[in-house]
Amino acid sequence: MKQPPQSESPQDEVPEDYLSRELFDMVHVYIITKPELQNKLITVTALDKKLVGCPVCIEHKKYSRNALLFNLGMVCDAKTKTCSLEPLVKKLAGYLKTLELENGFVSNESSKQQLPKLMEVLLKEINESGKCTLPIDNSNTINLKVIEHRRTPATVQEYEVPVFTQCWDYDASQWDLTTQQILPCIDGFRHLRKISDEADVELNLVRIAVQNLLYYGVVAIVPIFQYSNVYCATPRLQLLAEDASLQDECLTYITKPGYRKATLRAAFLLYSSLSPGTTVRDLCCRHAPHLQHIDERKLVQFGLMKGFIRRLHKIPLKLPAEGRGKISRWFNGCHCYDEICCKKGLSYKELEEKTEHDPGIIIFWK
């Protein structure tokens, strides 16, 4: 890292001479910038290196040239993804600005000497553990942490089910109160609404908590399990045929406790038999012998989590009468059975009766 103040040359570099003079000359305009660009996060790529910095400008008569410009930046390899370092750089810039305004930390000759040491500590600790504590003086400490940037997950619906991705050994105190209350209810079979009822937590709070868990990869979302569900195989099923460790994991997961371990052939056959037109109930009837020592719920759950199978949703559509007649709120081809049942409080059977007796309703499976 380097920190060049007014003069157009790097004052402090850790490790020393990491940046060639050549590179610095090329990019100095992005490091010590015009006033218009101050306080902006600037990332520039040159000569296989990426520099992330945030220039700061403090105007005051006490400085020679009436202004102090400085920039504490980070230098990485050009291919690195630096989004997670940006908040760090911004925070450091803010801190240093405050320190300068209060104590003249940056411009003062004696306190300036601390900077290279601080930068060394920063470099070492961030690279090793992703977090760092920098004591500046008796009353000031900077705490920094690199936060991994993740994708925002899709909204979780109330008829969807969270399931733990691994056997997590969690420390309850690390999570907020709401999450702590709902964690015992997450068993891979209860959907959001049920969790909300059983844990006595408002539905939206449950949704937020589960989405938070989803963001950190603690849970995955699967559809509700019912014996009337229909699933079909995906190309990812090939992975089960090829990956020995995955096979092991699968067979251990799906075998009923206390029974002989399931065979790969049985698992594969069951997954392959899941196809459009076949409900889980049909599967159980057809392959009863195999399912003596395999838990079909776990089989489906594992298949969904690993992407071997996908759920086929049943979507009813009521065709409007001649012309653009009024379309039904729920039967407009956009809502699946799960959603309708959940939101209208119907059971699958009740909804099925409604749709079967209406000749104007057609069914999609997708």
The binding site for another protein (CB under 8 A) comprises 22, 25-26, 29-30, 33-46, 152, 232-235, 237-238, 241-242, 244, 247-248, 251, 260-261, 263-266, 268-269, 271-272, 275-277, 310, 312, 315, 317-320, 324, 327, 332-334, 362-366
Contact 201/183 with Cβ under 8 angstroms? Answer: no
Shortest approach of another protein to residue 191 CB, angstroms? 20
Report the alpha-carbon angle 215-192-312, nearest 5.
85
Closer to another protein by Cβ: residue 40 or 131:
40
Nearer to another protein, 220 or 250 (CB): 250
Nearer to another protein, 118 or 337 (CB): 337
CB of 215 to another protein, least distance (A): 13
How far are the Cα atoms of 39, 147, 186, 301, 321 from residue 90, in angstroms, in the given order? 8, 13, 38, 43, 61
Q: Given CA atoms 44, 49, 53, 58 in this order, what sign does their dihedral have?
A: negative
Nearer to another protein, 161 or 312 (CB): 312
Residue whose C-alpha is closest to residue 69's, from 103, 110, 37, 43: 37
d(CA 268, CA 308): 10
We find the least distance from the C-beta atom of residue 167 to another protein, in angstroms, to be 20
In the complex, minimum distance from the CB of residue 48 to another protein, in angstroms, rounded to a whole number: 10
**Closer residue to another protein in complex, CB, 45/133:** 45
Q: How many Å apart are CA 158 and CA 337, to the nearest integer?
A: 13
Closer by beta carbon to another protein, 56 or else 134: 56
The CB-of-99 to another protein minimum distance in angstroms stands at 17
What is the three-state SS of 194-252? HHHHHHCCCHHHHHHHHHHHHHCCCEEEEECCCCCCEEEECCCHHHHHHCHHHHHHHHH
Q: Which of 310, 308, 266, 261 is nearest to 291 (CA)?
A: 266
For residues 12 and 116, the answer to whether their CB atoms sit within 8 Å is yes
In terms of Cβ atoms closer than 10 Å to its own Cβ (0-12, 13-18, 19+), residue 150 is exposed
Residue 55, token pair as written in the block:
């220039």
CB 271 within 8 A of CB 287: no
- Min dist CB 286 to another protein, Å, is 14
Instruction: Classify 178 as helix, strand or coil.
Output: helix
Cβ 232 to another protein shortest distance, Å: 7
In the bound state with another protein, the residue whose beta carbon lies nearer, of 186 and 251, is 251
Cβ at position 7, least distance to another protein in Å: 19
Looking at beta carbons only, is 26 or 177 nearer to another protein? 26
Instruction: Report the distance separating Cα 291 and Cα 266, nearest Å.
Output: 9
Give me the least distance between CB of 91 and another protein, in Å please: 15
Q: Give residues with Cβ within 8 angstroms of 228, minimum separation 6.
A: 279, 280, 281, 348
Is the Cβ of residue 167 or residue 244 nearer to another protein in the bound state?
244
The answer to whether the beta carbons of residues 85 and 127 sit under 8 Å apart is no
